[in-house]
Amino acid sequence: MKGIDMRNARKVWLITGASSGFGKSLAEAVIAHGDSAVVTARRLDRLQAIAQGHEDRVLPLAVDVTDAAARDKAVAGTLARFGRIDVLANVAGRGVAGACEEFSLEQLRAQMELNFFAAAEMSRAVLPQMRKQGAGHILTVSSIAGLVSMNAAGPYCAAKFAIEGWTEALAIEARPLGIHVTLVEPGAFRTEFAGDVNMRPVQSIPAYRPVVEPFETYLAASAGKQMGDPAKAAKRMLEVVASDAPPVRLMLGRDAYSIWDATIAKRIEDLNSWRARGEDTAFDDAVFEAIKL
């Protein structure tokens, strides 16, 4: 199985969070493209509706990605049905709406468990097979909030920042093995993200209302009106997988690029304001040596 050509051959996908949002749009695009897929989520009935009429090459599985045994079941089920895994799409996730102090420790852990550990562990679960094949692609859906911190979304940003760092390191390590890794960083898209599915904090602290309420108002007002089309996002993901030189980061949406550009400018300004003093922290006789990456 060494050296599978990922560009032209029909692929086998394993997609998490496939019952709604980006996951559903990606599953539908993969099926329309003629590829095979194992589609997973907690709601089996929604997955069966997606697979209807394509049961010969689409396998729906009820999977809670925060459960190790369920993750192993998804990988084993894909290999048993199709014999290989060409693309893993880590899509499952959940947002938040509330101030950092308002969330409980249990809620912070739940955010990390779903948005970081589940994606990292699912990736680790497919890597042995991809190393054996000498080929594969891992797509992990992060967010512009994985690069830019936002008020009223601290726990979500923390988990997405974590998966960004872990995934970028994995991309460097896996590339020589023939495995591509791509972070997908969407802005606002018409998914269920802006709805009631977001985690809400266990307490409300009045002092934070001035910074939390505008975010809550934005989510409510924008629901169903966001610029981003999930179907077009799915198309971009398929194009990345088919590319000879896929990017490590795929940012999606003019709004995402806009906030990223503004954030980078502010970060450079902030860092440079203390750069001279920050650099003046070495031993007097030290010789400069750049960190090697």
Residue-wise pLDDT tens digits, 65-114:
999 999 999 999 999 999 999 999 999 999 999 999 999 999 999 999 99
- Which residues, 6+ apart, have CB-to-CB distance to 92 below 8 Å? 16, 17, 23, 40, 41, 65, 114, 118, 119
Query: From the CA atom positions of the chain, what is the Rg in Å?
Result: 20
d(Cα 100, Cα 180) in Å, to the nearest integer?
34
Is 156 a residue of the active site? yes
Catalytic one of 19, 36, 142, 143: 142
For residue 276, with 0-12 CB atoms within 10 Å meaning exposed, 13-18 middle and 19 or more buried, which class applies? exposed
Where residue 193 falls among pLDDT bands split at 50, 70, 90?
Answer: low
Catalytic one of 24, 25, 123, 160: 160
For 125, other C-beta atoms within 10 Å of its C-beta total 18
Question: Which ranges constitute the DSSP H helices of 89-133?
Answer: 105-112, 118-133
Is 2 a residue of the active site? no
Give the predicted TM-score (pTM) of the model.
0.93
Q: Does residue 107 sit in helix, strand or coil?
A: helix
- pLDDT at position 175 over 70: yes
Pick from 4-13, 116-125, 163-172, 209-218: least confident:
4-13
Q: Which two tokens stand for residue 77?
A: 């089920």
| pLDDT, tens digit, 9 for 90 and up, residues 72-84 | 999 999 999 999 9
Q: Which two tokens stand for residue 11?
A: 């692929």
DSSP-derived secondary structure for 10-55: --EEEESSTTSHHHHHHHHHHHHHT-EEEEEES-HHHHHHHHTT-T
Catalytic one of 156, 204, 235, 292: 156
d(Cα 145, Cα 185) in Å, to the nearest integer?
8
